[in-house]
Amino acid sequence: MTSRSRADIRSARRLVVKVGSSSISGENSGNIALLVDALADVYARNTEVVLVSSGAIATGMPFLRLDERPNDLATQQAAAAVGQNILVFRYQNSFDRYKIVAGQVLLTAGDLENPKSRTNAQQAMERLLGLRILPIVNENDTVATHEIRFGDNDRLASLVAELVGADCLILLSDVDALYTAPPGTPGATPIASVPYGDELDGVTIGSVGTGIGTGGALTKVAAARHAAQVGTGVLLTSTSNVGRAIDGDQVGTWFEPRPLN
pLDDT digits (tens, 9 = 90+) for 88-141: 999 999 999 999 999 999 998 888 889 999 999 999 999 999 999 999 999 887
d(CA 69, CA 249): 35
> Is 106 among the domain residues?
yes
Containing structural domain, residue 209: 6-255
Annotated binding site for substrate: 54, 141, 153
d(CA 4, CA 12): 10
Supply the DSSP string of 9-21, one letter for each residue. Answer: GGG-SEEEEEE-H
Q: What is the mean pLDDT of the chain?
A: 91
The CATH number for 49's domain is 3.40.1160.10
> Is 207 among the domain residues?
yes
d(CA 112, CA 149): 11
Residue 3 is predicted with a pLDDT of: 76
pLDDT digits (tens, 9 = 90+) for 152-206: 789 999 999 999 999 999 999 999 999 999 988 999 999 999 999 998 988 888 7
d(CA 145, CA 164): 25
pLDDT digits (tens, 9 = 90+) for 33-56: 999 999 999 999 999 999 999 999
Give the predicted TM-score (pTM) of the model. 0.93
> Is 229 among the domain residues?
yes
> Is 260 among the domain residues?
no
> Is 146 among the domain residues?
yes
Domain count, the chain: 1
Q: Closest Cα to residue 24, out of 15, 34, 16?
A: 34
> Is 1 among the domain residues?
no
The CA angle 86-88-91, to the nearest 5 degrees, is: 110
> Is 200 among the domain residues?
yes
Q: What's the Cα-to-Cα distance from 103 to each of 51, 82, 180, 211, rounded to whole Å?
A: 10, 17, 38, 28
How many other C-beta atoms can be found within 10 angstroms of the C-beta atom of residue 242?
26
φ, ψ for residue 20 (rounded to 5)?
A: -85, 165
> Is 208 among the domain residues?
yes
Annotated binding site for ATP: 18, 173-174
Q: What's the Cα-to-Cα distance from 104 to each of 36, 55, 149, 181, 246, rounded to whole Å?
A: 15, 14, 18, 36, 22
pLDDT band, residue 1 (cuts 50/70/90): low
d(CA 153, CA 135): 15
The residue type of 123 is Q
Annotated binding site: 18, 54, 141, 153, 173-174
Higher pLDDT, 66 or 73: 66
Sheet containing 193-194: order of strands? 102-107, 134-139, 48-53, 14-19, 168-173, 233-238, 253-255, 193-194
